Amino acid sequence: MYFDPRWLIVILGSAISFSVLSPIIYARKLNFFASTLPHSSLLAVTIGYMLGFLTGTHPALWAVPVSIVLSLFLVAIIHRGVSEDSATSVFVGFSVSASVAAMYYILTNFPAQTSLWSYILGDPLLVSWEDTLLTLAICILIILTVLPIYMKEIVIGQDRDVAQVLGINVKLHDYLVILTLTVASVTMLKTVGFVIEHVAFLMPAVIAAGIAKDAKMFLVYSVLVSAFAGILSLILSIWLNLAPSAVYGLLLVGIYSILLMRRGSE
């Protein structure tokens, strides 16, 4: 059975990146926002694809700043008093519509260099070394960004007023978290896929919340569960000829279901 080390690096890098961010999403109650990120990332990637082709550069060089602008725009209008539900609904509507329009334009006017389906379904088994190194670099960046601020994010999630009294710059942390989530979403879209990114952002923390007894173990369990699901999904996908990202998502849902049944029987 053929095995490429790039597969393991990419899948583990993606799994760890999302699982490090997942507890912050859970604690900060950013589930709704995190669910919108794959939509804006898909739009950013399609725009990046076009600009990358026209300039002869990597699409990520354009996709990342476009995605950041979209996310910051959403946060800015929420801070101006627009309800989160309304702002997010409009944002998702625009992102989805614009993504479809951009993808149709690319498919009908640009030569195929990269399959856009890989951004929708995820394609970790066909990554290049360039994609692999990018995933590894983003994973390290996310870890170095999150670990120093993790406990502050937990405090902010518990009570923003208390966090401000303790001297935490809450608004600065808002933007820092949003930027980190956005960069993770757009750079990992090709390996994880638009569909499964929703699961990767949300499920590790949901599972860890049912096991962990404190904030530190909350993060540890989130990473362990996601890494375990990532490695097992790689093995099963090669063995059963299935999409690794789909197997990863199903494993996380399966683990949560098992824990739920165990709690129900106690």
Instruction: Give the pLDDT confidence of 6-52 residue by residue, as tens digits.
Output: 889 999 999 999 999 999 999 998 888 888 888 888 889 888 888 88
pLDDT of residue 201: 92
Q: Answer for the pair 160, 139: CB distance below 8 angstroms, yes or no.
A: no
Identify the band that residue 112 occupies on the pLDDT scale cut at 50, 70 and 90: low
- pTM, two decimal places: 0.86
The answer as to whether 140 is a domain residue is yes
Segment 136-160 shows an average pLDDT of: 93
- Angstrom distance (rounded) from CA 93 to CA 39: 9
Q: How many CA atoms lie within 13 A of 228 on its CB side?
A: 13
The answer as to whether 74 is a domain residue is yes
Question: Residue 31: which CATH number?
Answer: 1.10.3470.10
Identify the band that residue 1 occupies on the pLDDT scale cut at 50, 70 and 90: low
The answer as to whether 252 is a domain residue is no
pLDDT digits 0-9 by tens, 164-174:
898 999 888 98
Residue 124 DSSP symbol: G
The answer as to whether 245 is a domain residue is no
The answer as to whether 211 is a domain residue is no
* C-alpha distances out from residue 109 to 51, 63, 106, 122, 187, Å: 13, 19, 5, 23, 24
pLDDT digits 0-9 by tens, 172-205:
898 899 899 999 999 888 888 887 888 899 999 9
The answer as to whether 244 is a domain residue is no
Segment 199-220 shows an average pLDDT of: 93
pLDDT of residue 265: 62
Segment 236-264 shows an average pLDDT of: 87
Nearest to 117, CA basis, from 103, 131, 130: 103
Domain total for the chain? 1
Identify the band that residue 114 occupies on the pLDDT scale cut at 50, 70 and 90: low
Segment 64-80 shows an average pLDDT of: 85
Count other C-beta atoms under 10 Å from residue 104's C-beta: 11
The answer as to whether 141 is a domain residue is yes
- Angstrom distance (rounded) from CA 141 to CA 237: 28
pLDDT of residue 115: 66
Q: What is the mean pLDDT of the chain?
A: 87
- Provide the residue range defining the domain that includes 173: 5-194
